[in-house]
Amino acid sequence: MTAEAGPAGVLRVGIAGGGAIFRNHLEAYRAAHEAGRDTGQGVEVVALCDIDAGRAAQVAAAHGIGHAFGSVTEMLAWRGADGRGIDVISVCTPHPTHEAVVTEAAAAGVHVLCEKPIAIDLAAADRMVAACREASVRFGVLFQRRFWPAAQRIRAAIDDGTLGTPILGHCSVLLHREPEYYSATAWRGTWASDGGGVLMTQGIHYIDLLQWYLGEVVEVHGHTGTFVHGEHIEVEDSAVATLRFASGALATLHASTAVTPSLGVQIRITGSTGASAQLSEFPEGSDGRVDVWAAGQRVATSPDGPTWPSGLEPNVDLATINGALIPWHRAQVADFVDAVRTGGSPAVTGEEATKSLRILLAVYESSRTGVPVRF
Ligand SMILES: NC(=O)c1ccc[n+]([C@@H]2O[C@H](COP(=O)([O-])OP(=O)(O)OC[C@H]3O[C@@H](n4cnc5c(N)ncnc54)[C@H](O)[C@@H]3O)[C@@H](O)[C@H]2O)c1
């Protein structure tokens, strides 16, 4: 596919889904507008749609968005006075709806930035990637933690040989969720409407980082369990897995939303030089930082700054977590806007976002069958 530069001038954006993560996208596009305005490269969020048309109207009015619709189809059909519609759609709807929204937008020639997980099954993800490729529209998927400077520092240390080739990885995602997190939102917690539990919704961010560092996974052996939230969910609240990579590297994963108080997230990578780095997010929603760096004869703890002060609440509520992620949504939206304008590739493409989905679905399959899954 030959990439073509996107529209010049002000990009018009429509957001699908006016729920919890909507505000991160809105604020990120508004920051992109500030960055490009003086050079005529602004970004305007012109429309919001939600299957709850009342919510679309109310949220749009509250945030100064000019047009509200009750469906993606109506939003894609909208034309301004100059006859132009939206150039970009941000997909902030529940996971199983991503495919329909993305493929409809691609068919309309609209560039797509979709929330994670790309989909809840691989066939849907492949169809989404194919639809965007056929329509020659850019397709990006939100994994905003890749934009942490600390996450990028580890990637750079792999690329420049400081860590060498990664040989061992560990990903620990030990989070807290209140029962209401699952009971208050109808689509959370069932296989059909959520596609999975802690791995599909929270763990996928960190599985993405693990595979970004260690490369292609060739074998997964996993187990899942539902220990604390079973009254409200049929999916897993906890999972463990071992992963083997094409390079020969090995990794372990454990993840849970049954941990009180939350221990946050740690990702540890050891390279062929023997050097290791630990990336931590604690409390959940705080910016990732490298808090252990071990190379040669030296071990530096907290080179990124002080550790989390004691006495603060680790069980951070969801609105606070989402709000704290805005800078990193901003970074990824800026990257995506640039890809649309230049015809380049977004940092996290649909193909790239499919890799973490493939890994976590293999954990589910392995847990069901009792045998490792080999790709
Ligand atoms: N990147 C992150 O860190 C992050 C954080 C939170 C949520 N998310 C992702 O964002 C997505 C939405 O999550 P949320 O917490 O905002 O959910 P939510 O339930 O708060 O909001 C979803 C909204 O989408 C609307 N909707 C449902 N189907 C629709 C359709 N077909 N067309 C238009 N609107 C539709 C719903 O009415 C609702 O208002 C999920 O895929 C989730 O994984 C990502």
Nearest CA to ligand 1 atom 14: 20
- Can you point out the beta strands (E) in the chain? 11-16, 43-49, 67-69, 88-91, 111-114, 139-141, 166-174, 217-225, 238-245, 250-256, 264-271, 276-281, 289-295, 298-301, 373-374
- CA–centroid distance, 94 to ligand 1, in Å, is 4
294 ligand 1 Cβ < 6 A: no
What DSSP character marks residue 202?
I
- CA–centroid distance, 177 to ligand 1, in Å, is 18
> How large is the average pLDDT for residues 33-56?
93
- CA–centroid distance, 21 to ligand 1, in Å, is 6
* Structure tokens belonging to residue 363: 């954990």
193 ligand 1 Cβ < 6 A: no
Range(s) of the chain covered by CATH 3.30.360.10: 146-323+357-374
> How large is the average pLDDT for residues 278-294?
89
Helix, strand counts (H, E) of the chain: 13, 15
C-alpha span between 375 and 170 (Å, rounded):
20
50 ligand 1 Cβ < 6 A: yes
Burial class (CB in 10 A: 0-12, 13-18, 19+), 38: exposed
The dihedrals phi and psi of 100, each to the nearest 5 degrees, come to -60, -40
**CATH match for 11-141 among 1.10.443.10, 3.40.50.720, 3.90.10.10, 3.40.718.10:** 3.40.50.720
Range(s) of the chain covered by CATH 3.40.50.720: 11-141
Confidence (pLDDT) at 298 = 82
Of ligand 1's atoms, which has the minimum distance to the CA of residue 19? 21
Instruction: Give tens-digit pLDDT for 323-367.
Output: 889 999 999 999 999 999 999 999 999 999 999 999 999 999 999
C-alpha span between 351 and 260 (Å, rounded):
35
Instruction: Give tens-digit pLDDT for 155-175.
Output: 999 999 999 999 999 999 999
Confidence (pLDDT) at 1 = 35
351 ligand 1 Cβ < 6 A: no
- CA–centroid distance, 277 to ligand 1, in Å, is 33
How does residue 313 score in pLDDT terms, banded at 50, 70 and 90?
low
Top mutation candidate among 92, 144, 330 for ligand 1, by most atoms within 8 Å of CB: 92
- Which among 344, 271, 353, 286 is positioned nearest to 316, based on CA atoms? 286
- CA–centroid distance, 283 to ligand 1, in Å, is 23
How does residue 311 score in pLDDT terms, banded at 50, 70 and 90?
low
Higher per-residue confidence, 91 vs 321: 91
Instruction: Give tens-digit pLDDT for 179-213.
Output: 999 999 888 999 999 999 999 999 999 999 999 99
- CA–centroid distance, 190 to ligand 1, in Å, is 15
Higher per-residue confidence, 302 vs 265: 265
Confidence (pLDDT) at 323 = 87
> How large is the average pLDDT for residues 61-69?
98
115 ligand 1 Cβ < 6 A: yes
CATH of domain 146-323+357-374: 3.30.360.10
DSSP per position, 133-200:
HHTT--EEE--GGGGSHHHHHHHHHHHTSSS-SEEEEEEEEE-B--HHHHHSSTTTT-HHHHS-SHII
Top mutation candidate among 27, 50, 98, 177 for ligand 1, by most atoms within 8 Å of CB: 50
Considering only 52-66, 264-278, 295-309, which range has the smallest mean pLDDT?
295-309
- CA–centroid distance, 319 to ligand 1, in Å, is 13
Query: Is the confidence at residue 286, as pLDDT, over 90?
Result: no
Higher per-residue confidence, 114 vs 315: 114
